Structure 1
């Protein structure tokens, strides 16, 4: 993506975050830099937006407590790419965890000395002390700084606990606590990186260069140097590097990376293709329509990363809870350490030890990561399946929906009219010959349904464009007429033929047949001459094959009401509504009527979604709890207007989105409940005096690991 600026805003990638608390502290430090007006950390995407002027060195100094590395987000400038690659290059395990391995080695030697000598032997104490210093030096630095500033976070709690443990001579346990805390932090970092990588992998989908024709020559050009209007050549088996429009060639393209579609899509002249998709069959020439930073894949990555930074309601709760939680834990620890010795003749050594264990238990690691990993994992999984969720708040809202309203045209239906019935009434009349006459007349018509008849003729290889039509004219509100081979033909409504023919030619059976077609939501047209009926042809906006199954799945999933909104007449709307299985049909609506209905629905059901095409449904989409747009791929309006975009114009992704959202909600609730419960259970062990530093740190590390693994399950939720 390109450098992002709003006024004087710069976006930087951050390497090295271990926890959400650290991200918050880094944000605060950056805000304190002279010349910086504001700063906002996106922990999920590992980025920071800075309003004002700050150098890389100043930013890294602000993150020195966590040894953070900062990279300016300028993908169009290769110099920054090289630095980012250098920072992100694979580091061998033994080099990455050298400090931790040395610390464990000294700990092992300390225990060996403990068995050979004793626990108060100088060599034993020095070995445990060395293990603590090697494994926890960065922890102690930050902890001491926090103490001096009276800032209380996880590292402050751990530092106080370690100092206290050392004072009362618990060298072995304190050394183990330091190492386990370091392992816990690495687990947290690893799990968050795994979740982030589900999005970062999207960045590598599109090729970094493309074959472009310039001045009659075909040359490989970096995507950053490709301009709108350039001609890109894509061979079979190659990935498409840029968004564009096919100008020659025919192929099928696998668009799964963008839209989640499992079946390749046919592409011919004037069709859109997207960067990151795979050209499977033929050679195509593509005219570039967007710069590299404006491609659909670039927008998806940007919007998903922004979505990861949006705080979900549960995240807001956790942040607020953690703000008061740490100081309360410190007060409890102090009371545990001094109340029993002062008032109940307890042993100072025993209860100070218990107080230190309370501090260790108090580290809110599991609680703090319970929501961000879940949100990032779920949003990343949805993006890979072709569903773009634009924030944690919408992910949570989808899970609590009670009603979903659907626009009919282009959502439940394909939005393209098609011939559904064609019946020749005159015995012995050649079907194809009559279809060519009908199409020749419709070919000259401007009526929206004419295209459906032309498509049918094309599909059946019926010629019509060369047929000579004389005296063609439109009969306002009723149909068309024209002369072919000196015969005057009419195509129009039954009303037109009631006027043209004597009543005995337009019999009751035919009227019933036309009425049946109309009840099915079809537009029935009659074909004939002034004295003879030749055929009936019916046209309708075809219902998507998946619509019926989608509605059925949504009802099964507990959605209380599904509503179809349309401007069609009531009988047509009822026919389509019955076919797809919606529980309510609202017909003959203007755009403002749709908006008012959504507002009413929100009052009765509280949580309501609107599914539409993101253009004429914009007001209704905005008024709903969650606006869901169809066909986000290549449609800027859908990407900007909706809270959720179904990238592949595929309604079948909706039940999956509801399922994923509900699973995410359940995981977040389970994580928060488990993280708090494990702390309470550990704290209750203080009453009988059973809480030890070992139990404290293991409960913290175990909770962190379980919460992280539980959250990462969301990356594997299937349709």
Structure 2
């Protein structure tokens, strides 16, 4: 039976340890390719037997989480919202705290304090106790174990003091209530902040949720974009969002494609133009035919790429995950040791020793470690996506750090890919036949040279040739056969002695191995190429030109923009070995756009592809630049660098906080209430630092 990917939406996860407990459960059951993300509330795994799904859902819900069909339709009940739980607790906690500063004897009564604390404690048991029990059952004790043990210790100790009437020294009801209230406040902050870090994907999903005007038998009906099928005729008016990908049948419109490319200038669309779902019609109106719908649209693929990118953990995160997994048992051990040493060795009173131990439990926070990396990665990926840069993996961000070489393909990357024919030198008198052969062969290719030649030849007199088959050879050219059995080759890869091998001619057309024509073409350098190379050099990155084109053409482009390292006339397999050589000397990024670049894009530490590249190149690359503006390359390097800096800052603060806070709590410098506040604050600091990346000035 074929392996298939199962995707579940799971609510109730609020830290990395929650995700780890589900991960461990699925691992024990022997599933593969497991991905659990608490921030996006997604669980994925692959299996060959989907009949086990009901049992898996039952087991996940047995851990205290909830599996839902659609996160957008999952409305939490009033009493389930963490914000409402916090407000409920606060209502009872404020009077408990007031008795410490106000001389109202009524609040000093142990029974009154018990009555005020009890609702908060019960809520804490339901919220933290249930999660703590389920996490221990799952084999990965989470943060809630520490909160539950700490608050319960304070409550039980106070309850014994109340029953035995031992006096005010034995009453710590306000400690129990304040711990629960402050941690709920931290959870509320965390929930709001995490939802902001995942906003990039949520924004894209919202773009998909539109209606479409379908034309059926001359009548217009309004349907959801989800119900559009390939071949449907749709009317899109000014101000509407294009519902799905398709081709324009009639009409003219200026369409804002900034959500896809980051380019703010609207693009003019006329008959036969391609339009993309989610883009907005600013002026005019069009009638279109749907070509790609559902998960096949460009927008759906972008959303899927973003989700996959968030799931790929950078190596730096694995350290945080390992620490978080063993953290809770270690902290419980430290708390017990603190109590033992304080009470028996340093002769501290039982109450103080207990408060020290509770403070250790409450102040320890593996949540900050678990949040450190995913929040920064999500904000970084979101910022990149808004700049028209799609990054296929969170681990790509770390792979790009300390880049030493950026290797460029020439055609379509550093140059516009729009070619002009300078000259056609023919061996026969029939120029229209030669043009017709070139046109018929090249219209079957999506290489930038081929597309430019087809565009130019379309307007000239030519005799089209009916071809039986056309195949593309990576790095060489095109082979074709006509209905009469003649074989043709058009490309730069084969040259006979009859060919003029000077710098003037780059393409050669053969019929049955006899030279028919030599074609001289010129390509225009992108206006921002020189500035890009200058910026890379300022960043101490060495630019390299690696092309299958002729040496003279490569030198001409390299000299114009300032590249000194040139490798010309290279076939795909030769490009691979050159990338390997650079990888041995330092981190190497390859930027290309053609089929012949695909192996090199895969081989490089990070492959970057242009949006107008071949589908093979896009699939081979780990980064796709939706905007053909070369400034995107620098923007991508800057976003990656600053995301990694943010991750390291987050991990530093998370570790430093615990290294300083736990010993301070153990020696009695922090009481449990202050500890609960500091713990909530540590999460907010880490998430706040990640969110800073949204608007941070990149240098």
Q: Do these two structures clear the TM 0.5 threshold for a shared fold by scoring above it?
A: yes
Contact 2:20 2:325 in 1 (8 A): no
User: SS of 1:702's equivalent?
Assistant: helix
Q: Which of 598, 609, 618 is residue 579 of structure 2 equivalent to?
A: 598
Report if the CA contact (8 A) 1:443-1:454 is conserved. Answer: no
1:640-719 matches, cutoff 5 A:
640-686=619-665, 688-717=667-696
Shift of 1:394: 0.3
Report if the CA contact (8 A) 1:360-1:697 is conserved. Answer: yes
The corresponding residue for 2:495 is none
Deviation string 1:57-90 (CA, Å, 9 cap, x unpaired) is 9726633655535116xxxxxxxxxxx544258x
**Residue matched to 2:74:** 87
The count of aligned residue pairs is 621
CA distance in 1, matches of 2:118, 2:333: 28
Q: How does 1:145-184 map to 2 (within 5 A)?
A: 145-146=134-135, 151-169=140-158, 170-184=172-186
Contact 2:312 2:395 in 1 (8 A): yes
Aligned in 2, Cα 1:240/1:353: closer, same or farther, shift over 3 Å?
A: same
Answer yes or no: is the 8 Å Cα contact 1:241–1:275 preserved in 2: yes
The 2-side partners of 1:698 and 1:711 are apart by 20
How big is the shift at 1:159? Answer: 1.4
Instruction: Tell me which residue corresponds to 1:10.
Output: 6
How far 1:551 moved relative to its partner?
1.9
* Cα RMSD for the two superposed structures: 3.7
CA deviation string 1:374-404 (max 9, x = no partner): 1111112212221111111002212332211
Question: Structure 1 residues 554, 465: closer, same or farther in 2, change over 3 A?
Answer: same
Is the Cα–Cα contact under 8 Å of residues 42 and 306 in structure 1 kept in the other structure? no
Contact 2:14–2:39 (CA<8 Å) still a contact in 1? no
**Counterparts of residues 246-265 of structure 1 (less than 5 Å):** 246-265=248-267
Q: Deviations over 1:636-662 (max 9, x none)?
A: 434422111112333221111111111
Aligned 8 A contact 2:17 2:140 in 1: no
Partner of 1:477: none
Name the CA distance, whole Å, in 1 between partners of 2:370 and 2:210: 37
- For residues 44 and 547 of structure 1, do their structure 2 counterparts lie closer, same or farther at Cα, with a shift above 3 Å needed? farther
Is the deviation greater in 345-354 or in 705-714?
Answer: 345-354
Which residue number corresponds to residue 599 of structure 2?
619
CA contact (8 A) 2:237 2:285 kept: yes
Query: Is the alpha carbon distance of 1:225 and 1:6 closer, same or farther for their aligned partners in structure 2, counting shifts above 3 Å?
Result: farther
Q: What is the rounded CA distance, in whole Å, between the counterparts of 1:450 and 1:705 in structure 2?
A: 54
Q: 1:207 to 1:355 in 2, by over 3 A?
A: closer
Confirm or deny: 8 A CA contact 2:543 2:565 kept in the other structure: yes
Taking the TM superposition and a 5 Å limit, the aligned residue runs for 1:368-407 are 368-407=370-409
Distance of 2:642 and 2:138 partners within structure 1:
41
Aligned to 2:85: 99
Counterparts of 1:446-595 in structure 2, within 5 Å, are 446=438, 465=461, 539-559=521-541, 561-595=542-576
Residues of 1 paired with 2:693 and 2:244: CA distance? 31
Q: Deviations over 1:331-360 (max 9, x none)?
A: 222221112433343433322321221112
CA contact (8 A) 1:251 1:266 kept: yes
CA contact (8 A) 1:630 1:650 kept: no
Residue 402 of structure 1 aligns to a residue whose secondary structure is: strand
Q: Does 1:241 align with 2:239?
A: no
Q: C-alpha separation between the residues in 2 aligned to 1:149 and 1:379?
A: 32
Relative to structure 1, is the Cα distance of residues 147 and 599 closer, same or farther in structure 2, using a 3 angstrom cutoff?
closer
User: Distance between the aligned counterparts of 1:155 and 1:554, measured in 2?
Assistant: 48
**Shift, 1:177, TM fit:** 1.0
Residue by residue over 1:650-693, the C-alpha shift from the partner in whole angstroms, topping out at 9 and shown as x without a partner, is 32211111111111111110011011111222123247531211
> What do residues 523-564 of structure 1 show as CA deviations (whole Å, max 9, x unaligned)?
699xxxxxxxxxxx98511111121222222222332x1111
Say whether the 8 Å CA contact 1:18–1:186 is kept in structure 2: no
Uncovered stretches (5+) of structure 2, i.e. residues with no partner: 159-171, 424-429, 443-448, 464-497, 508-518
Shift of 1:187: 1.6
Q: 1:689 to 1:625 in 2, by over 3 A?
A: same
Q: Provide TM-score, normalisation by structure 1.
A: 0.78
Q: Distance in 2 between matches of 1:639 and 1:688?
A: 58
CA distance in 2, matches of 1:255, 1:145: 47
Which residue does the alignment assign to 2:37? Answer: 42
SS in 2 for 1:399: coil
Match of 1:361 in 2: 363
Paired with 1:637 and 1:466, the residues of 2 have a C-alpha distance of: 31
Contact 1:60 1:68 in 2 (8 A): no
How far residue 215 of structure 1 moved from its aligned partner, in angstroms, is 3.7
**Paired residues of 2:24 and 2:138 also in contact (CA < 8 A):** no
Structure 1 pair 604–180 and aligned structure 2 pair: CA distance change class (3 A): same
In structure 2, relative to structure 1, the CA distance for the partners of 1:180 and 1:466 (3 Å cut) is: closer
Question: Separation in 2 of the partners of 1:148 and 1:457?
Answer: 71
Partner Cα distance (1:122, 1:454) in 2: 89
Aligned counterpart, 1:77: none
CA distance in structure 1 between the partners assigned to 2:244 and 2:564 by the alignment: 43
Q: TM-score, normalised by structure 2?
A: 0.80
- The equivalent position to 2:20 in structure 1, one of 24, 44, 54, is 24
* Structure 1 unaligned blocks of 5 or more: 73-83, 422-437, 468-498, 500-517, 526-536
What's the CA shift string for 1:484-532, capped at 9, x where partnerless?
xxxxxxxxxxxxxxx9xxxxxxxxxxxxxxxxxx9xx87699xxxxxxx
Closer/same/farther in 2, CA of residues 38 and 408 from structure 1, 3 Å limit: closer
Q: Secondary structure at the match of 1:228?
A: coil
SS at match of 1:714: helix
1:315 has 2:317 as partner: yes
Summarize the Cα distance change of 1:14–1:609 in structure 2 as closer, same or farther, 3 Å threshold.
same
Alpha-carbon distance in 2 for matches of 1:247, 1:637: 28
Say which SS state the counterpart of residue 244 (structure 1) adopts: strand
1:614 and 1:642 in contact (8 A); partners too: no
- 2:347 & 2:233 partners in 1: Cα distance? 87
Distance 1:569 1:57, change over 3 A: closer
1:365 Cα shift? 1.6
Query: Structure 1 residues 64 and 708 mapped into 2: Cα distance closer, same or farther (>3 Å)?
Result: farther
Residues 1:54 and 1:259: Cα distance change in structure 2 (over 3 Å): farther
